[in-house]
Chain A
């Protein structure tokens, strides 16, 4: 990876966005947030270049599936690793279908979040492995 510590958090719930911003900032990450997939895409197309995207699946306007499809269609964005956040139980299936670097099941523990970020930031994005 580039060594960047910038994380883009995409979640429609303001409490989740605030909490993730806060706890990740405490761990030395720089954090930007977006309330849905469309806003996230807009930020990325305007030059935001995160090391990783934490992406909620169920969101209004543009959900995580649609965002991921758009991201993978854009060559300049496809290589940014994505970790999905989901309240669903079938998280493993979800990661496979979206070629995400990983999935965290809500509610999540801080140690699991940090371990996942470490793994995802060190590994190549699965979306490029074709």
Chain B
């Protein structure tokens, strides 16, 4: 009799186990979502907090550089200017890292938005290249730019500047001190930016992966950085209705190709594209 009763209860016990497992999975998923939300909120707050001391530090260093440039004596002045220049460069690097953390948390929270306006892509590309001239000289890269003349497009100027900065930063970083060339071309409907280096290149299996979050094609032990630059770049280009891909051969270099529509974009504002 007891064995018969036990057999009758067996399906119910199995169902109970399934229900318990389902409830556990649901609770786990809820906890994970909450953990991600708390992490992103923390990243946002941390990034904001880090920017306050960075603001003071950067302004003080700029002021110090100005004072040194205007100082009369020649000897220790160039040595001190060199030190201040290094400190400014490192502070700028910190600021970019903080911005990247803030961007990635707004992308994952679906708060990332672009604000398009009429802009000249030639001017944007040339300005960014010009800003990178001293960094290129420092790492021994010849940095050149080629543009067809003014290229009007409706883009978020600051975000497209960020795309150019990220691509040139990578080209200088992985370019093995070989020449880096930025080329802008345009048709009536599209603009194309190619940033080409002659550096370490990217293996075929890594060419898609590098646009993911925290991804990199090289060991973190050999090259610094958070692995966020191309992820953010990809999202910015997507938000403009454009595309980005890389053409590369190992040890021969890479060419990152960005194509952007020049026509007005429909999706704008916080509710617009993209959201992760």
Point out residues on A near B: beta carbons under 8 Å.
13, 15-16, 18-20, 22-23, 26, 58, 87, 89-93, 106-111, 113
Contact = CB atoms under 8 A, between A and B. Distances in A.
Given A22-B63, A23-B63, A111-B62, A89 B55 contact: no
B22 interface: no
B58 A109 contact: yes
Q: Place the interface of chain B in its size category.
A: 20 to 34
Given A87-B47, A90-B115, A92-B158, A110 B57 contact: no
B55 A93 contact: no
Interface of B: 47-48, 51-60, 62-63, 66-67, 91, 95, 99, 102-103, 106, 113, 115, 117, 156-158, 269-270
Contacts of A110: 58-59, 62-63, 66
Given A90-B113, A93-B115, 12 more contacts: A15-B53, A15-B56, A16-B52, A16-B55, A20-B59, A87-B47, A87-B51, A87-B52, A106-B55, A107-B59, A110-B58, A110-B62
A89 B53 CA distance: 17
Nearest to B66: A110
Given A15-B53, A16-B52, A110-B66, A89 B59 contact: no
B52 A13 contact: yes
Nearest to B102: A89
SS class of chain A's interface: helix, strand, loop or mixed? helix
SS class of chain B's interface: helix, strand, loop or mixed? helix
Contact of B60 (A19, A106, A108, A111): A19
Given A89-B102, A89-B106, A92-B115, A106 B52 contact: yes
B28 to A, nearest CB: 33
A89 B117 contact: no
A58 B52 CA distance: 11
B121 to A, nearest CB: 17
A51 B106 CA distance: 35
